[in-house]
Structures are given as structure tokens and as C-alpha cells.
Amino acid sequence: MGTLAYYLVLPLLYGISLLPFPLLYLLSDGVFLLLFHVIGYRRDVVRTNLRNSFPEKSAAELDRIERDFYRWFCDLTLETLKTLTISPKAVLRHVHVEGEQVLRKYHEQGRSIVLVMGHWGNWELAGARFSQLGLHHLNVIYHPLHSRKFNALIIHMRTRLGNGLYPMAETMKCMLRDRGKLTCTAFIADQTPPPERAYWTTFLHQDTPVFWGTEKIAAKLGYPIVYVGIDRPRRGHYLMRFEELVPNPADLPDGAISEAHTRRLEQDIRRRPEIWLWTHRRWKHRRPTSE
């Protein structure tokens, strides 16, 4: 998107961000009607993903999950824009925390950690909430955008409350650079890697490639792995739960960590499927025949 488009869109983005939450969700209801009933954004992808992931569910159950997903997806999009201007006090009201003692233990030991998660809940609001814990400095791995101006906007949105970012291609370099600091590096582990360089497993009944990075980097640096799930008990409120997943990653065989975080995320998705990113083409690759 060009410079002119950026400056035309920017006031709209900030205007939406400044809306109070009740008006934000009223707008989201309108966006849902347009996206779900008129545009049908990626409906084929969502339906295929749901059908293959839950073969045991009836058509009525899948329809309900699909509709609930699109409602949440619209909320997620506008809540993400909200992080452009959200205050620390508002973050505390909308994102609650369980398991903070897991982080505190490693903080007191002076140990950096690897945080592993998926596209479940609202990861942007969760990042903003993490910045308010006063423990490890959070660095989130991200894909830089092609548009320089929009990339700068995303960086501002994700760092304005104190967090940092690592470009995906430079993750290891950045973690080695910051090894003397007390950090928490967040890996969103349900993205799609090149199939020939992935760990392959079964996820939601389907052959699925998983990035090796989480376990390889954690094992190399000796960082314990903490899982975080971002549940949504009710609209506008999230619950961020920290769980110790792998205290000593160097002690495990290849694939064990990838299996552990994949199984844990799968458990959360099965429990509340409507708040996972079903529009993502997660299963676009086939397992190599040599596997």
C-alpha cells in the first residue's frame, strides 16, 4: 500500500482506536454483518479447516463455531486497532492474568525464558498486558511488512507500552545479542513453515508442519519454555494463563518440545474453538514423502 493510501487510512485507524469499548463492539457487530453475510471473507477456507479439524462434530455444531468465530474475528481486528491508543489502566481491566508465579520464579532466578503460544485469543492485547507485569522484558517475533510506513505503525503499536520486537529472520541473532538481559521471547508456534524444513506432526487430525525454532533455540540457550493461553471468558475480557511447559529443554530428544506445545495448544483450541484463527491456511502443505 502506497504513501497516499497510508495517510488516507491512518486517521480512520486512529479514529476507531479512540472509540470506547462499547462503541468499538457496536462497530464490530456491523463489520460482522458485512464480513459474514455479504462478503463471506474466506468462508471456504474456514469451513474446510473446521470440517477437517472436527470430523466428529455435526453440521449444526460446525455452523455455530463458524458464526462465533467470525464474531470474534471482527472483535479481534478492532481490539488490535485499539492497542494503538489503549492506556495501561484499560489493559489491566480487559486482560486478567493467572500463573504469574511461573514467570516470577524465573525472574527471581535471573533466567530468561521462551514463551510459546498460538493464534488463540487476542495476542496483541496479551502483549500489552505483559508489559504491565514488571518482570521479564518481552520481545515478540514478527514478520516485517513490505510497506515501510505500515511496518513502522505496527512497530509503534506493539512497542509503545514497553515491549520489543525481533524480526523473524534475525531471532537467534537478537537473542544472542540480548543474552545478558532478562528477557522473554514470544514464539507464535502455529504459523506455517516451509515443509522441507519443518517438524511434522498431527494437529487437529491433520498432517501439520511446525517450526523447529522454538525448541532448537530454547535448547541451545538453555531457556525454560512457558506456554501461554489467552482465553476469552466473555466479550471484551481475556484471561492470560502462564503454564510451565518445559523447564529443561536441553534434556529432551528432538521433536519432544514441538509435540508438547502443539498438544497444549490443540487442547485449548478443542475447548474453545471459536477463538482460533481459522482463516489462516494452516494446512496448505503436504508432508514430504521421505518423512
Partners of 234 in beta bridges: 237
Complete edge-to-edge strand list for the sheet that includes strand 95-98: 95-98, 237-246, 225-234, 113-117, 183-188, 137-142, 164-167
Average pLDDT over residues 174-178: 97
pLDDT computed for residue 1 by the predictor: 56
Going by pLDDT thresholds of 50, 70 and 90, the confidence category of residue 5 is: confident
- Domain assignments of the chain as residue spans, ordered by start: 3-275
Cβ neighbours, 10 Å, residue 44: 8
User: Does residue 146 have a pLDDT over 90?
Assistant: no
Predicted structure pTM score:
0.94
pLDDT tens for each residue of 242-279: 999 999 998 899 999 999 999 999 999 999 999 999 99
132 vs 205: CA distance, rounded Å: 37
235 vs 32: CA distance, rounded Å: 14
